[in-house]
Chains A and B, each alone.
Chain A
Amino acid sequence: EVQLVESGGGLVQPGGSLRLSCAASGFTFSSYWMQWVRQAPGKGLVWVSHSNSDGSSISYADSVKGRFTISRDNAKSTLYLQMNSLRAEDTAVYYCARGRYYNGFDPWGQGTLVTVSS
């Protein structure tokens, strides 16, 4: 069964850092693009970042550029999101998802909640 499991969320103070992980199983992780998408409480989906299959092509939303870093360890089938200089507006459930734009993002993990508050 294809599965994505996020972890690493929690409560952090403004200006702090957090690293999210997304453990993949049931497919050849190293062959797939991966995405991070977030959803603030009661709000819509917002794309955050993508990585191609070997990490050589990466992109970020303007709102996180320079503060967030996406990376992957294909040997461990794990995707990461390093989040620095966190702000209150970064509070959201963070989802990882498999796929590229032309074939959609599928599946998605269950999400991990990040709360930025003092």
Chain B
Amino acid sequence: QSALTQPASVSGSPGQSVTISCTGTSSDVGGYNYVSWYQQHPGKAPKLMIYEVSNRPSGVSNRFSGSKSGNTASLTISGLQAEDEADYYCSSYTSSSSNVFGTGTKVTVL
């Protein structure tokens, strides 16, 4: 199972919005609404930010939103803040009854 494709990095100024794409195939992202997004700060464990494409767990800021179109899912961070600087990974269920992560995106707050 090949990793889902994400841009290596995105950046934005405080207050701006950034969007991270996550491209897979019809066997993963495009075939199921089981896309999740994780935030990982350096040296820390990942944290769930979005599940089932667009749902936010309790406690996650509403500045984080998710969507999907075809084989590509997206995570948008609105009102960018310094603490949002981190690595972000998408994840999807696959037709092999397994899971696949994205290549990861480093978000930089300028």
Measured in the bound complex, the distance between the Cα atoms of B97 and A107 in whole Å is 21
Residue in chain A with minimal CB distance to B45: A108
With A101-B34, A106-B57 known to touch, is A47 a contact of B48 (CB < 8 Å)?
no
Kindly provide the distance from the CB of A48 to the nearest chain B CB, expressed in whole angstroms: 9
Q: How far is the CB of B92 from chain A (nearest CB, A)?
A: 8
Complex Cα distance A70/B14, Å?
Answer: 43
Task: Determine if B3 is an interface residue (Cβ-Cβ < 8 Å).
Answer: yes
Q: Is the CB of A47 within 8 A of B101?
A: yes
Q: Are A101 and B45 in contact (CB under 8 A)?
A: no
Contact count band on A: 20 to 34
- On whether the beta carbons of B1 and A61 are closer than 8 Å, the reply is yes
Most buried by A among B38, B97, B102: B38
A59 to chain B, nearest CB (A): 5
Asked if A95 and B45 make an inter-chain contact with CB atoms under 8 angstroms apart, the answer reads yes
User: Smallest distance from the beta carbon of A41 to chain B beta carbons, Å?
Assistant: 12
Q: Is the CB of B52 within 8 A of A102?
A: yes
Given known A45-B46, A111-B45, contact A104–B100 (CB-CB < 8 A): no
Determine which residue in A97, A104, A106, A109 has the highest number of CB atoms from chain B within 10 A of its CB, and name it. A104
Q: Return the chain B residue nearest A97 by Cβ.
A: B46
Q: Could you list 18 examples of A-B contacts with CB < 8 Å?
A: A44-B104, A45-B38, A45-B46, A45-B104, A47-B98, A59-B98, A60-B98, A62-B1, A95-B45, A101-B92, A101-B99, A104-B36, A104-B50, A104-B52, A106-B51, A106-B57, A107-B47, A110-B45
B: residues with CB less than 8 A from A are 1, 3, 32, 34, 36, 38, 40, 45-48, 50-52, 57, 89, 91-93, 96-104
